[in-house]
Amino acid sequence: MDGEAGSDALLALWRLRLVPDGDLCFDGHQGFAWHGAFFGMIKRLDRALAARLHRGSGTRAFRLSFPQRRLYERGKPIDLLIGSADPDLNRAIDSLRACTQGDGFCMGLEHVEMDLLSVELLKSASMEYVERFRLPASFAVQFRSATCFRSQGKHLLFPDPHTLFGSLLGRWNSLFNVQMTLYDEELDRVAVNGYRLHTRTLKMERFELIGFVGYVSYVSRGLKVESRSKLGNLLLLADYLGVGYHTTMGLGNCRVVFGADRGGRGGEAV
């Protein structure tokens, strides 16, 4: 984190600690329920923002991460992580801090109300920090929730450099005014160095989805400064907004580690 205030940052990662007032049991993936709960909360804070985020590419400006538990027990805290690349969303979440000290704020998940216990900015990055960032010679991506990519109607279950950075490039260009271009010769200089992945089948509300979890380590060689800057920017985006399909419903949650060995260990997190 570069110390930028969350409400003014280009990228921000927030943690909302919530306490349910009743037991809640899920049969299958909870993504649709949390997605709906999130929009219900934002709609109460800023109806125009909720409408904008719900339209088109706006839904890619944030990601949600939550415990993958079948049962949430009454009175036991739940941490909801929200990664955001939208200044208005950051300001709305930041405004919730006051609610934890006053009359309180509730968020509905299915039929259960959850009291907001705390709001914490875990890390943030300004545009200046992002622009200074460079891709290191080695890094790893730890895929912490089921992840998959889509291309021409097909699901892709291995994050080779072209798939990983190609997905992030599309998201970057949908979010920011500064458009980015990547060339095959740049991506050809990034290679997989090691991996351990496991596939999972998720039962969504209306369909089943196959994704993977685990880690992949990468190495880069011979990249020019401009290329290292572009690829580094995209990796920062992954660390805050996740990667792949349905990141607004809890999929594609990842952690980027720089300087990691081929086993995905060591180094420093973003």
68/72 Cα distance (integer angstroms)? 10
Measure Cα distances from 216 to 30, 98, 194, 204, 221 in Å: 26, 40, 6, 26, 17
* pLDDT (0 to 100) of residue 236: 94
227/115 Cα distance (integer angstroms)? 45
- Rounded to the nearest 10°, the torsion over CA 78, 88, 147, 253 is -40
147/268 Cα distance (integer angstroms)? 22
Within 8 A by CB and 6+ apart from 164, the residues are: 141, 149, 238, 243
**Helix (H/G/I), strand (E/B), else coil: 184:** helix
* pLDDT (0 to 100) of residue 103: 63
* pLDDT (0 to 100) of residue 154: 80
* pLDDT (0 to 100) of residue 3: 46
- The conformation of residue 60, written as its DSSP 8-state character, comes to G
pTM above 0.85, yes or no: yes
How many CB atoms are closer than 10 A to CB 183?
A: 9
Within 8 A by CB and 6+ apart from 27, the residues are: 70, 203
Question: How would you write the pLDDT of the chain (270 residues) with one tens digit per residue?
Answer: 554 555 568 899 999 999 999 998 887 778 889 999 999 999 999 999 999 998 865 568 999 999 988 899 999 999 999 999 999 999 999 999 888 765 678 899 988 999 999 999 999 999 889 889 999 999 999 999 999 998 777 888 899 999 999 999 999 998 888 889 999 999 999 999 999 999 988 877 677 788 999 999 999 999 999 999 999 999 999 999 999 988 999 999 999 998 766 666 665 665
* pLDDT (0 to 100) of residue 143: 97
* pLDDT (0 to 100) of residue 60: 82
How big is the chain, counted in residues? 270
Go through the domains of the chain in sequence order and give each one's CATH number: 6-125 (3.30.70.1890), 133-269 (3.30.70.1900)
